[in-house]
Amino acid sequence: MGPHDANLGYFNRRAAANRGASIALIDLSGDRRRDRTHAALDERMERVADALTALGLKPGDRLLLALGNRCEFIEAFFGAMRAGIIPIPLNIKLGADTIGFIIDDAACKAAIVEPGCHPRIEQIIDDKKLPVRIALAPVSTGWTGYETMLADALKWPFQPPAIDPDHTAFLPYTSGSTGRPKGVLLSHAGMLWAIRLSQRYWPCDPDDRTLVAGPLYHKNAMRVSIKPKLFVGASAVILPRFEPRMFLRALAEYGCTDTGGVPAMYRMMLAEEDLLADLKFPRLKTLEMGSAVVGADLIRAVEEAFGAPVEEAYGLTEGGGPLRQPVGGAPVPRGSCGVISPGVDIKLVDETGRDHPHSGELWVRSPAVLSGYNNRPELTAERLTDGWLHTNDLFRRDRNGFFYFMGRTDDQFTCGGENIQPKEIELLLVQHPAIIDATVVPIDHEMKGLAPAALVTLRPGATAGEADIQRFCLENGPAYAHPRRVFPVDALPVGGTGKVDRKRAKEIIEALIASSV
Q: Rounded distance, CA 198 to CA 188, Å?
A: 16
Residues whose CB falls within 8 Å of the CB of residue 42, separated by 6 or more in sequence, listed in order: 12, 13, 16, 20
pLDDT tens across 243-256, in order?
999 999 999 999 99
Q: What structural domains does the chain harbor?
A: 8-241 (3.40.50.980), 338-408 (2.30.38.10), 413-516 (3.30.300.30)
CA atoms within 13 A on the CB side of 406: 19
| Contact assessment for residue 128 and residue 100, using Cβ atoms and an 8 Å cutoff | yes
Quickly state the pLDDT bin for 478 (edges 50, 70, 90): confident
Query: What does the pLDDT average to over 216-225?
Result: 89
CB atoms within 10 A of CB 382: 11
Q: What residue type is assigned to position 460 of the chain?
A: P
Question: Does the structure show a pLDDT above 70 at 177?
Answer: no
Distance between start and end Cα atoms, the chain: 69
Q: Could you write out the three-class secondary structure of 225-247?
A: HHHHHHHHCCEEEECCCCCHHHH
Pairing state of beta strands 144-145 and 132-135? Answer: parallel
Q: What is the pLDDT of residue 309?
A: 94
Q: Does the pLDDT value for residue 140 go beyond 90?
A: no
Condensed to tens digits (0 to 9), the pLDDT of residues 141-174 reads 899 999 999 999 998 999 999 999 899 999 999 8
Burial (CB < 10 A; 0-12, 13-18, 19+), residue 513, is middle
Between CA 57 and CA 63 the distance in angstroms is 9
Q: Please report which confidence band the pLDDT of residue 358 belongs to, taking 50, 70 and 90 as the band edges.
A: very high
Measure the CA–CA gap between 246 and 240, rounded to whole angstroms: 10
The confidence score (pLDDT) of residue 263 equals 80
pLDDT average, residue stretch 30-49: 97
Note the pLDDT of residue 416: 77
